[in-house]
Amino acid sequence: MREVRLIDKDGKNHGIMPTEEALRIAREQGMDLVEVAPGEQPPVCRVMDYGKLRYDQKRKRAQASRGGGGELKELGLSMKISDHDLGVKIRQAEKFLEKGHKVKFNLMLRGREKSFQDSLAPQLLDRIIEMMSDRGAVDQRSSRMIGNRLFVIIAPSRSGGRKEGKTKRDQDKGENASIHSEAGPPHQGGQAAAQAGARTPSAGEEELPPETSS
């Protein structure tokens, strides 16, 4: 069973314990279990109000955008997204990038789809990165499940050459505009923490559940 080092809401270190035990403690306090140092062995998790964390981070992001620079636009996806709907998302993301905004693609994994977190889900994100390569580059990408989602953030490309990129995109349209639906029969599995409903955003990543921008 996976173990974590638990820090409570008051900053007290409770030491190493099984993930399920850490989750139980968080729930008893009416809080969430948030992974704050995923690179440690074992990972460090903290008991906190995830809703408040989301609010604070959104407020800071809004303040940063008012001070100049682009905003972070978020688009939600599912494993069952169709080729047509994905194309709509990609075109929407391209418009955001052209205005200088970053775009965060949030891939939701529901139920048994969580077993795809190390296989089909990363492949879908890889496809999105490829389709966006002539408009932007990867700024951040989740290395593991955050709650029930994976994400990738695309930043506007600094290489210029918009027309050249568009020409290449048009030439490769047949290849780049298609994506396989990865919604085959889900298999049982996935990390214990993810199945138990642990929220595990990394402090170095930010990270918020998806709020789809229109």
List domains and CATH numbers for the chain. 69-183+207-214 (3.30.110.10)
Query: Is it the case that residue 95 has pLDDT exceeding 80?
Result: yes
Task: Work out the average pLDDT over 47-63.
Answer: 80
Task: Please state, in angstroms and rounded to a whole number, the distance separating the CA atoms of residues 116 and 109.
Answer: 8
Task: Work out the average pLDDT over 41-70.
Answer: 76
Q: What is the pLDDT of residues 12-26, one digit of tens each?
A: 888 999 999 999 999
Report pLDDT for 64: 60
pLDDT > 90 in the chain, percent:
30
Task: Please state, in angstroms and rounded to a whole number, the distance separating the CA atoms of residues 21 and 19.
Answer: 5
Task: Please state, in angstroms and rounded to a whole number, the distance separating the CA atoms of residues 27 and 74.
Answer: 29
Q: Could you tell me how far CA 185 lies from the centroid of its own chain? A: 23
Report pLDDT for 151: 92
51 φ/ψ angles, rounded to the nearest 5 degrees: -65, -40
Query: Is it the case that residue 200 has pLDDT exceeding 70?
Result: no
- Across the chain, mean pLDDT equals 75
Query: Regarding predicted confidence, which is higher, 156 or 170?
Result: 156
Reported as a pLDDT band with limits 50, 70 and 90, residue 11 is confident
Residue 40 has which token pair? 């440690």
Task: Work out the average pLDDT over 68-73.
Answer: 74
pTM over 0.75: no
Task: Work out the average pLDDT over 98-125.
Answer: 88
Task: Work out the average pLDDT over 62-77.
Answer: 72
Cβ atoms of 159 and 85 within 8 Å: the answer is no
The residues that bridge with 6 in the sheet, in sequence order, are 15, 45
Task: Work out the average pLDDT over 204-213.
Answer: 46
Report pLDDT for 101: 92
